[in-house]
Amino acid sequence: MPWFGLGVYKAENGDEVVQAVQTALRVGYRLIDTASFYGNEEGVGKAIRDSGIPREEVFVTTKVWNDDQGYESTLKAFEESREKLGFDQIDLYLIHWPVRDKYLETWKALEKLYHDGKVRAIGVSNFQIHHLKELMKHSETRPAVNQVEFHPRLTQKELLEFCNEHQIRLQAWSPLMRGEILDHETIQEIAKKHGKSPAQIILRWDLQNGVSTIPKSVREERIKSNADLFDFKLSPDDMKKIDSLNQDRRIGPNPDDF
C-alpha cells in the first residue's frame, strides 16, 4: 500500500470524483480511498479504468458501511462495491466503524473474502485499542490497516504504538482537520522555515510518524500541492512542536459513541 493517497469522501459521483481521481493519478498518486457510504465507487472505478494506468499499479480501498454489517450482508455488500468499481479484486477492504455486536461477524466475512482471493488485504477503520484486542482474540487474520481520525489535535499516541506493536498500519483520515489547524501559528512557523505550505507540513508529520495519509480534495492545485512532500524532512524539534498541539480533540464521531 502506498504511504500517500487521495480520499474521496464527499466528492460527488460523476464528473467531480472522476476528475479528482484522474488528476491525482496524473500527478503520481497510486492510492485511492473510497467507501460504499461515499456513493462514488462507480466514478472512482471509471476514473481508474480511463486513466490508462494499469489496474495493478493503483491501490484501491473501499469499506463496508454499518447498515450492511454482519456475515452474509457484508459478503453481499462487497459484491455490490466490486460491481460498482468494476474490478475483479479490491486491494483493501475495511470495516468502516466498529458496530457493536456486529463487527466480529463482519470480520469473519472479510476473512473469507481474503482467503477466497477477492481482496488483497483486509482491515478496519475507527477501531480503538479495545476493539482491536477483541477482534484479534476471535480471529485468525490480523487487520493490515486501521484507518482513524489523526491530526495534530488528535495524535492518538497509544493507539499508534499499539498498532505498530502488532504490525497494523495506522492510516489518517481528515489529516488536515478540515483546514481548522492550518492557521495555527506553530504550523505556520514551521511551514515558513521549510518554504512549504501548512498542509504539506502536517502531511509530512503524518509520514514521519509512520502513518499513511489520505487527504481529500477535488481541487487540482490542492491535489498537486498535497503530494509535494518528499523533498524535505521535519526535524525532531519540528515533530515535537507539532505533537505538543494535541488536545485529544475529535472533529468526527467518537467510535465508542457512534
pLDDT in tens, 146-164: 999 999 999 999 999 999 9
- HSE of 215, CA atoms in CB hemisphere, 13 A: 29
Mean pLDDT of the chain: 97
Catalytic residue among 9, 29, 38, 93: 38
Question: pLDDT tens, 83-129?
Answer: 999 999 999 999 999 999 999 999 999 999 999 999 999 999 999 99
* Strands, sheet with 90-95, edge to edge from the N-terminal-most edge strand: 6-7, 31-33, 59-64, 90-95, 119-125, 145-149, 169-173, 212-213
Q: Catalytic: 29?
A: no
Phi then psi for residue 155, to 5 deg, are: -85, -15
Specify the pTM. 0.97
What element of type H or E holds 41?
helix 41-50
Q: Which residue has the cell 472505478?
A: 45
